[in-house]
Amino acid sequence: DIMPDGGAIIAGSLGKPGGKLDFTNLLLRIDRRGRLLWWRLVGAMAAPHNPDVIALSDGGVALVGRTDYKPWLLRTDADGKTLWKRDLAAAGIDYAARMSRLPGGAVLVVGAAPAPARGLALRRFDARGRMVWKASVAKGAELSVPAPGMAADGAAVVTGTTTPRTGSTRRVRVG
């Protein structure tokens, strides 16, 4: 994602050589000329994972990742120091997929609700990591490739493809 100063924040999974299933979430920050400013390794896991990362207006970063099968949300300051980390499983998210930045440093996290209900789990966290609200929609279905965002009136909007019910594109509006 592009940072407010024109640099970028990049996230991914980093594996150890030798073919063993031993991976870590990698978070790195570069300036607008491509120079490395800082990097962090966050959370070990047994399988590769594509964490989602977003740049925030204060220069900080929000990262959704997982340690093995436990999803979490991490917030850093502009220097990459951890401000807080939240257990998303405790917030009712089985698998966190995407995020969207909201005004005031808030973050909208979209993921899968746990079984047996399944469906789409939306959680809004404020800049201090407190869950402000939660919503569950499309119960019994799964939403692949969710694209969260925010409408002009402040409502959360998520677009994606639901399965197995219809296999069609749906737009969900909460708020």
Q: What is the pLDDT of residues 93-119, one digit of tens each?
A: 887 778 888 888 899 998 888 777 677
Strands 61-67 and 52-55: antiparallel
Question: Please, which pLDDT band fits residue 122 given cuts at 50, 70 and 90?
Answer: confident
CB atoms inside a 10 Å sphere around CB 25: 26
Question: Please, which pLDDT band fits residue 139 given cuts at 50, 70 and 90?
Answer: low
pLDDT at 48 > cutoff 70: no
Per-residue pLDDT, 174: 58
pLDDT at 18 > cutoff 80: no
Per-residue pLDDT, 171: 55
Structure tokens belonging to residue 98: 């995407």
Q: Which of 75, 87, 72, 3 is nearest to 37 (CA)?
A: 3
Per-residue pLDDT, 76: 94
Q: Within 13 A of 128's CA, how many CA atoms are on the CB side?
A: 2
Burial-class residue 83 by CB neighbours within 10 Å (0-12, 13-18, 19+). Answer: middle
Round to whole Å and give the CA distance between 72 and 23.
16
Question: Please, which pLDDT band fits residue 170 given cuts at 50, 70 and 90?
Answer: low
Structure tokens belonging to residue 31: 């300036």
Structure tokens belonging to residue 29: 């920050």
